[in-house]
Amino acid sequence: MNANEVLESLEWRYATKVFDANKQIPLDKWHVLQESLHLSPSSLGLQMWKFIEVDCSQLRQELRGASWDQSQVTDASKLVVFCARKSFTHEDVMDHLNRIAQVRGVAIESLDVYKSRILDLVESKSPEVLKAWLERQVYIALGFMMSSAAMLRVDTCALEGIDPSAYDRILGLEDSPYYTLCALALGYRAESDSYATMQKVRFDIKKVIEAR
């Protein structure tokens, strides 16, 4: 992709309000979009998140009722719910370190210095700071998936206009280590979506990017 094509993708993307319920994302593109979540970066590589792909139409209908009745929830080809961790423990850090040892073929003891750095960082955070930190990671993945979708000419709409507690109940997350933050609808714009041709509203670039 050259520079112009990247810019074209970014300009092509908009928050899709009306999806064509008859158009499905082909499997090969969907696998790439799943990888955009899987390959998203996170602080220290800890991957403290869960992404729930909701394929069941009954569940989608229930979620729409907890999303200000936004049609994207039922009509988009795919719906992903983005979830953060309720807590982060010593065991979670060990899971990550064991995975590094396995994937890179190194002894777990060789990661001892790294381990104490991670534990110091995690344990130094107050509960509020830890919560905000864990949630921020999830939004990085949201951005990754939206940008990847735009490159594949798959439309998206991020959805924070939802009742996260109702999502948790509907998806059975209440007794799990995760809770809902937001959702992402992915698919193809309907011809009737008037938002597709609206001018993008952004502040002047100099107002938001400062060079020092």
Ligand X SMILES: Cc1cc2nc3c(=O)[nH]c(=O)nc-3n(C[C@H](O)[C@H](O)[C@H](O)COP(=O)(O)O)c2cc1C
Beta bridge partners of 85: 178
Binding residues among 65-84 for ligand X as defined by CB under 6 A: 70
> Applying CB under 6 A, what is the total number of residues that bind ligand X?
11
Residue from 200, 184, 193 nearest 25 by CA: 184
Beta bridge partners of 53: 80
- Answer for which of 14, 30, 114, 133 binds ligand X (CB under 6 A) is 14
Binding residues among 126-165 for ligand X as defined by CB under 6 A: 157-161
Q: Which stretch binds ligand X (CB under 6 A): 14-22, 28-36, 52-60, 97-105?
A: 14-22
Residue 49 tokens, joined:
């998140």
Q: Smallest gap, in angstroms, from Cβ of residue 30 to ligand X?
A: 21
Q: Is 7 in the site for ligand X (CB under 6 A)?
A: no
Question: What character string, x for contact with ligand X (CB under 6 A) and - otherwise, covers 16-55?
Answer: -x--------------------------------------
Instruction: Give residues with Cβ within 8 angstroms of 37, minimum separation 6.
Output: 51, 80, 141, 144, 145
Residue nearest to ligand X (CB): 161
- How far is Cα 72 from Cα 24, in angstroms, rounded to an integer? 13
Beta bridge partners of 17: none
- How far is Cα 5 from Cα 181, in angstroms, rounded to an integer? 31
- How far is Cα 143 from Cα 141, in angstroms, rounded to an integer? 5
Cβ proximity to ligand X: between 111 and 157 the closer is 157
Cβ proximity to ligand X: between 154 and 157 the closer is 157
- How far is Cα 150 from Cα 26, in angstroms, rounded to an integer? 15
The binding site for ligand X (CB under 6 A) comprises: 14-15, 17, 70, 157-161, 182, 200
